[in-house]
């Protein structure tokens, strides 16, 4: 009974996604048919058809709530690529909006893989939904494998300190991790810098109860002034692809120089976006 | 008779069900000498059985009497009901004795059957673990320490004896009509527990394919550690659906204490840490084995899954 009910829900949500996609629906359906496994999933447990259903609420938010505007999305090359973006907003809506943008506004639709916190793999339901929707636990081995398969991988090198930024720190990038650069050099993966405007104002927080968060097993616990994210207008800017060459095993200081180039590019996109917009909400 | 034909392959743990699969595949091409405490009813006539404990000095007689060209060591116990001490002694001392004999009698090849379980399921795992991943299984389940120790003993032996071809096989969950290990027994339950909200991808290999992997490992020149995979990866829920089971979802915080109680009172035969296998990933990358021996499993995923209900259902 439960199974039939969940199958019905899935079909309904899938229909909603296709409705929201409008004239892009056939392209999305074609992508969802790309299932190689006998049991409807790839070796990672990714089920494109499930992803189509799971994205329905995010596609709705994308169209109606955050009213996302994209700039330069055609710059994303085909084949393996890193999308490196700023991270903010207390809950990772920025990632889902970037993912939906690549499905609804990139031609052809592309399902971007995100590398999730290991913590997510220990949560019931979340772990399964993530796996079926193509989101994978963020270990270097997993990332390398996805790039070798020619996938697009989104990276938020600011990590948890980024997403839990407080109000005064908005649009000031935290320090970038180096891991993605090591992998990019090793696999010769181009990097597309991405600036996301809007996410940094969606959930203003004035303090972060990190120690309380730790007690309940959360990586951070920012106290936001609104219970749900505000309907800020999202603007996603894609920069020109950057390619780097060098030794993946270089010292951190060497890698850091290259990472700085990416960080500057992301900061530049944010600057451009902030100058171009006239209002936070529309 | 030439010396070639007098050479034998020693198989430890031959009387188990996997041993029988192996015997069936190997006895026409090689002379097999079995070593097992248990009798081997219905053994082919050309198989000679030494019914004794690997830990006994007498087990060495096999090597004195015969010219042994290879040893397949699968005499490793996985019984959660056996005392930890006996378990440990049988597996670790038994393996030590066998490896000592291999070195002492100049055997050129030894194949040790380990398992992909030595990596251990965990939320931190990469989706596909390669052979150099750390063996973490005991960090969450101390009951499998001896299985890791067996793997490491073989590993140490591999480095200390570069002249001997040591092959360590780490196959994924072995299932089959006659196999009685934890994964096969679990899949035979009509109402197996699942942990609510968890549906990990799993890898299975048919017992005949696992046995064939050991035969392949005898190939001259082959040495090293290999993950051995079957026909691929599949969500646990799809396996249970294929078998027509009605799983019972149990919230994971309740499942552990509940199973611990059932296990203590002998109402269940799965030690609670085994729940990790239906909660987290423990999958391996079998590409090294695939490319080095040109490995292709003969049983499809559907056949492999259905085999737990007997061969007839698989046909």
Task: Give the pLDDT confidence of B32-79 residue by residue, as tens digits.
Answer: 999 999 999 889 999 999 999 999 988 999 999 999 999 999 988 888
Give the pair of three-digit tokens for residue B149: 């120790």
- Do residues A51 and A32 make contact, with C-beta atoms less than 8 angstroms apart? yes
In order of start, what are the domains of chain B with their CATH numbers? 3-176+203-232+283-298 (3.40.50.720)
Tens-place pLDDT, residues A72-101: 999 999 999 999 999 988 888 899 999 999
How confident is the model over B105-150, as pLDDT tens digits? 999 999 999 999 999 999 999 999 999 999 998 888 887 889 999 9
Number of residues assigned to chain A: 282
- C-beta separation of B104 from B46 below 8 A: no
**CATH pick for A2-276 out of 1.10.10, 3.30.1380, 2.60.40, 3.40.1130:** 3.40.1130
Q: What is the pLDDT of residue B269?
A: 84
Distance from CA of A35 to the nearest CA of B (A): 13
- Contact: B127, A44; criterion CB under 8 Å: yes
Q: Encode pLDDT of A124-149 as tens digits.
A: 998 999 899 888 998 999 999 999 99
Helix (H, G, I), strand (E, B) or coil at B271: coil
pLDDT of residue A37: 64
DSSP-derived pairing of the beta strands A152-155 and A69-71 = unpaired
* Partner-chain contact A137 B123, CB within 8 Å: yes
Q: Could you count the other beta carbons within 10 Å of the beta carbon of residue A29?
A: 17
Chosen for mutation from B121, B123, B246 (greatest number of chain A CBs closer than 10 Å) is B123
Reported as a single tens digit per residue, the pLDDT across B78-100 is 887 788 888 889 999 999 999 99
**A/B interface, count of CB pairs below 8 Å:** 76
CA-nearest of A268, A226, A212 to A89 is: A226
Partnered with residue B71 across adjacent β-strands are: B10, B110
DSSP 8-state secondary structure symbol assigned to residue B69 = E
Whether B235 and chain A come into contact, CB under 8 Å, resolves to: yes
SS3 A210: helix
Instruction: Nearest chain B residue to A136 by CA: give it.
Output: B127
Residue B3 has pLDDT above 50, yes or no: no
First to last CA, chain A: 45
Question: Under a CB-based contact definition with an 8 Å cutoff, are residues B116 and B151 in contact?
Answer: no
User: Are the Cβ atoms of A41 and B234 closer than 8 angstroms?
Assistant: yes
Domain range summary for chain A, segments of one domain joined by +: 2-276
CB-closest option in B233, B252, B280 to A121: B280
pLDDT (tens digit per residue) in B272-310: 889 999 999 999 999 999 999 999 999 999 999 999 998
Beta bridge partners of B10: B33, B71
Torsion of CA A188, A193, A196, A197, to 10 degrees: 180
pLDDT in tens, B226-267: 999 999 999 999 999 999 999 999 999 999 999 999 998 988
Q: What is the mean pLDDT of residues A20-33?
A: 86
Query: pLDDT tens digits for B138-165?
Result: 888 887 889 999 999 999 999 999 999 9
Counting DSSP H helices and E strands in chain B, the numbers are 14, 12
What's the Cα-to-Cα distance from B250 to each of B186, B188, B247, rounded to whole Å?
15, 18, 9
Average pLDDT in the B216-229 region?
96
* Cα angle A58-A63-A65, degrees, rounded to a multiple of 5: 80
């Amino acid at each position: 009974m439960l199974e039939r009910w969940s199958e019905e829900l899935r079909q309904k949500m899938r229909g909603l996604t296709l409705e929201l996609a409008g004239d892009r629906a056939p392209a999305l359906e074609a992508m969802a048919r790309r299932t190689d496994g006998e049991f409807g999933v790839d070796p990672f447990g990714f089920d494109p058809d499930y992803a189509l259903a799971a994205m329905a609420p995010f596609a709705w938010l994308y169209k109606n709530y955050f009213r996302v505007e994209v700039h330069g999305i055609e710059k994303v090359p085909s084949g393996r690529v890193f999308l490196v973006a700023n991270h903010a907003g207390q809950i990772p809506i920025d990632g889902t909006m970037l993912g939906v943008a690549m499905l609804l506004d990139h031609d052809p639709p592309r399902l971007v893989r995100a590398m999730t916190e290991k913590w997510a793999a220990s949560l019931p339901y979340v772990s399964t939904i993530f796996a079926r929707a193509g989101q994978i636990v963020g270990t270097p081995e997993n990332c390398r494998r996805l790039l070798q398969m020619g996938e697009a991988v989104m990276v938020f090198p600011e990590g948890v300190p980024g997403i839990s930024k407080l109000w005064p720190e908005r649009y000031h990038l935290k320090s970038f991790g180096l891991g993605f650069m090591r992998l990019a050099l090793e696999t010769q993966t181009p990097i597309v810098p991405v600036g996301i405007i809007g996410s940094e104002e969606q959930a203003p927080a004035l303090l972060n109860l990190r120690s309380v968060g730790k007690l309940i097993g959360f990586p951070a616990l920012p106290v936001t002034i609104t219970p749900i994210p505000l309907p800020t207008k999202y603007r996603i800017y894609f920069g020109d692809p950057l390619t780097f060459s060098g030794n993946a095993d270089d010292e951190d200081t060497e890698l850091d120089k290259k990472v700085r180039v990416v960080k500057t590019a992301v900061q530049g996109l944010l600057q451009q976006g902030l100058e171009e917009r006239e209002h936070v909400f529309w | 008779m030439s010396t070639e034909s007098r050479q034998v392959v020693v198989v430890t743990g031959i009387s188990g069900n996997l041993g029988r699969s192996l015997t069936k595949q190997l006895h026409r091409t090689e002379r097999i000498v079995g070593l097992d405490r248990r009798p081997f009813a219905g053994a082919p006539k050309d198989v000679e059985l030494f019914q004794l404990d690997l830990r006994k000095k007498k087990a060495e007689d096999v090597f004195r009497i015969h010219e042994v060209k290879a040893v397949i060591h699968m005499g490793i116990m996985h019984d959660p009901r056996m005392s930890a001490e006996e378990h440990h002694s049988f597996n670790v001392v038994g393996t030590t004795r066998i490896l000592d004999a291999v070195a002492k009698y100049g055997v050129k090849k030894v194949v040790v059957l380990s398992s992909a379980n030595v990596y251990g399921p965990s939320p931190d795992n990469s989706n596909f673990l390669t052979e150099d991943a750390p063996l973490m299984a005991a960090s969450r389940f101390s009951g499998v320490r001896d299985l890791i120790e067996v793997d490491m003993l073989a590993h140490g032996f591999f480095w200390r004896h570069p002249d001997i071809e040591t092959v360590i096989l780490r196959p994924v969950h072995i299932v089959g009509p006659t196999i009685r290990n934890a994964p096969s027994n679990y899949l035979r339950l009509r109402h197996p527990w699942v942990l609510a909200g968890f549906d990990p991808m799993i890898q299975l290999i048919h017992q005949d394919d696992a046995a064939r992997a050991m035969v392949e490992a005898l190939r001259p020149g082959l040495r090293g550690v290999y993950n051995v995979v079957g026909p691929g990866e599949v969500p646990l829920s799809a396996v249970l659906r294929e078998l027509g089971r009605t799983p019972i979802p149990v919230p994971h915080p309740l499942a552990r204490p509940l199973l611990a109680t059932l296990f203590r009172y002998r109402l269940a035969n799965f030690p609670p840490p085994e729940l990790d296998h239906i909660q987290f990933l423990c999958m391996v990358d079998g590409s090294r084995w695939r490319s080095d021996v040109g490995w292709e499993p003969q049983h499809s995923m559907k056949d492999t899954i259905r085999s737990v209900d007997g061969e007839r259902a698989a046909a």
